[in-house]
Amino acid sequence: MDLIKMILKIYTFSVIIFGLFRASLYFLQRLDVVNNTNIITSGDLISSFIWGLRFDLLVTGFIVIFPVILLIIYEFSHKLFLIKIAFWWLFFVFGLAFMLTAANVVYYHKFYQPVTIKALEWFDRPAIVFGMIFQEPRYWFMFVPFFIILFVFYRKLKKWFNKYQPETGSVKKKILTFLMLLLLIFISIRGRLAHAPLRLEDAFTLHDNFLNDLKLNPVFIFEKSYEAYLKDRLRPLKLMPPKQAVKFVQNSLQINQPVNPNPISRQVHFDTLPNRKNVVLVLMESMAAWKMAYFGNTEKRTPYLDSLFKQSIAFTNMYSNGIHTFAGIYGVNYAYPEIFDKHPLKGADIAIYNGLPQILKSNGYQTAFFVSHDSDFDNLGRFLPMNAYSHMYFERDYPKDSVRTIWGVDDHFLFNFALKKIDKMAAGEQNFLATVLTISDHGPFYIPDFIKGETDRIRATRFADWARADFMHKAATRPWFKNTIFLFVADHGEGHNRRYPIPLTYNHIPALIYYQGVQPRIIDKISGQIDLFPTLMHLLKFDYTNSTFGIDLFSDSRPYIYFNHDKIEALIDKTHLLLIDKQKTLGLYHYKDGDLTDYKAIEPVKRNEMETYLKAHLQTVKYILDHNLQYK
């Protein structure tokens, strides 16, 4: 077998495997396609796969160019080590490419976007990453085929190399043959003969974002995200001039004169004595609004939360800070938005904030945080103690036989453990803030047998709801219950029937405030997790300096709320949804009507108004954090 035939076989095997993974992604996400049948045609679908082939050829060309050059040198030098290097390069690099492509199917199904450099944030805890894969059978459907493909590829590659024979003929003929081979590889890398080489933006030609994503090879996307990451490290975020941004935000928050160097700091004063109630904050894992009957779900997943919703101050237009747990912790406690794909809890220098735990601790409260898993994940064990949580409880604090999955203990155990610690805190003279971060609605699942349901995902949500009910029923028997405010809010939602480039269900979440004697009411103002801290302070009546982006939803309102979806930032009111990345506006939609038309060119005034609001707030966040003003 000569070199050209062998490379042709490698190309064929590669694009077939990439194509099979693309087909797997399509069939797994086909419900999204069905939900958008009004704009998707068979022609669009065929176009996505044809474009996908072009991007697959591009990636394959990049992988084979180095070993092809080695083998061409071997043709003239006959150095055997060049063959070995070429073989192992092809096996390992294609192996990584196939692994990334398999992971992309799972990642897209979870986050509704292709895998990027952002995914590597979890690899500082590889035990958790691989534990999720091996403990949750729904991930096996991609990784079992991957190992089979890797094995087959190794056997095929070994067979091809064993049959490989150098080209025969004159040196001139060899040179012409190899130049032709290199030219063909070069064309596959460019993706086309005319114009510039294939670019990321070339894929985004259809109205449906999923079909646009389907065109792209995950290796290509990952590499481009890494390029963007390196560029971002070398250049600051520049959405608009910082001074202009700060001035805009000050006007939005009606700040005439900041009370300290933080440009959005304002003094909040109440004309009454403090209402020294305890606070129990429950961050509910993946508790999307769509799972509740109140928001139209008919599966009876959350009977207790629905009943509590009706007995509480309930927020119906609440949006999470982001799509990851750390963003929810950050937003609810410290009322700062997440900026694009930056992890706010990590870094060489941990930022100190002036949020809920700081204010309550300064007023004599004890503070405690209960986590099901280990302390290293999301850097919680370092960030939270530095930000006013005095008592931290992690997996190491629980009996080993209570650990159920890679995520540690289940919600029922965690709530009971927290109750015992809260009882001890309540026995003292100080009030307390106790935050419980739940986990049972996140796979891999632990679900007791007595929890029934059609699927494990439904059963997991029902178990989480049962554990909440058990916790509140037990808490109601405690002496401290009558003097305690309970705040239940999701850390983020969960993807479900996406219609727009990001699924709003990942950010639309329930939130409620309950306490003995509360007058139930619905607050339907557009709002975010960042607003819960000032809103809670309204009930506690402590004078304080608000140095955050949150507002008091009892007395104020906002025209828009912003939230993050990794590389995309969104701004929303009750009718419009604006999406931007760091370079451009991605779309403006009438989401309330389910309208898939992009109005960014049709409604320029609205687009400019929303763009300015969003960019000003993000740029101001960056300015404050860059100058370490958030805690002044």
Q: What is the pLDDT of residues 207-222, one digit of tens each?
A: 677 888 889 999 998 8
Tokens 């070069």, residue?
186
Tokens 């069939």, residue?
27
User: Per-residue confidence at 234, pLDDT binned at 50, 70, 90?
Assistant: low
User: Per-residue confidence at 37, pLDDT binned at 50, 70, 90?
Assistant: very low
330 to 219, 321, 375, 533, 632: CA distances (angstroms): 31, 8, 16, 11, 18
User: Per-residue confidence at 269, pLDDT binned at 50, 70, 90?
Assistant: very high
pLDDT digit string, tens, across residues 446-461? 999 999 999 999 999 9
Model pLDDT, residue 233: 63
Model confidence at 430: pLDDT above 70: yes
Model pLDDT, residue 125: 61
Model pLDDT, residue 431: 98
Model pLDDT, residue 127: 63
Model confidence at 36: pLDDT above 60: no
- Residues whose CB falls within 8 Å of the CB of residue 631, separated by 6 or more in sequence, listed in order: 262, 351, 352, 353, 354, 358, 547
Average pLDDT for 600-605:
96
Model pLDDT, residue 39: 54
pLDDT digit string, tens, across residues 162-191? 999 887 778 888 888 889 999 999 999 998
CA-nearest of 614, 490, 492 to 565 is 492
Model pLDDT, residue 126: 61
Residue predicted with more confidence, 211 or 468: 468
Query: Which range among 219-223, 266-270, 603-607 shows the weakest confidence by mean pLDDT?
Result: 219-223
Model confidence at 226: pLDDT above 90: no
What domains does the chain contain, in order, with CATH numbers?
A: 3-232 (no CATH), 242-626 (3.40.720.10)
Model confidence at 96: pLDDT above 80: yes
Model pLDDT, residue 228: 74
Give alpha helix (H) positions in 205-344.
Answer: 209-215, 218-234, 242-252, 303-310, 325-334
- The b/e string for 272-307 (b: 16+ C-beta within 10 A; e otherwise) is eeeeebbbbbbbbbbbbbbbbbbbebeeebbebbbe
Model confidence at 38: pLDDT above 50: no
CA 388 – CA 362 distance, rounded (Å): 9
User: Per-residue confidence at 562, pLDDT binned at 50, 70, 90?
Assistant: very high
Residue predicted with more confidence, 192 or 222: 222
What is the DSSP secondary structure assignment for residue 114, as one 8-state letter? -
pLDDT digit string, tens, across residues 308-327? 999 999 999 999 999 999 99
What is the DSSP secondary structure assignment for residue 366, as one 8-state letter? E
User: Per-residue confidence at 121, pLDDT binned at 50, 70, 90?
Assistant: low
Beta bridge partners of 572: 561, 577
Model pLDDT, residue 139: 66
Model pLDDT, residue 277: 98
Model confidence at 99: pLDDT above 60: yes
Model pLDDT, residue 498: 78
Average pLDDT for 438-453:
94
Model pLDDT, residue 580: 95
Model pLDDT, residue 129: 62
Which tokens belong to 414? 């965690």
Model confidence at 132: pLDDT above 90: no
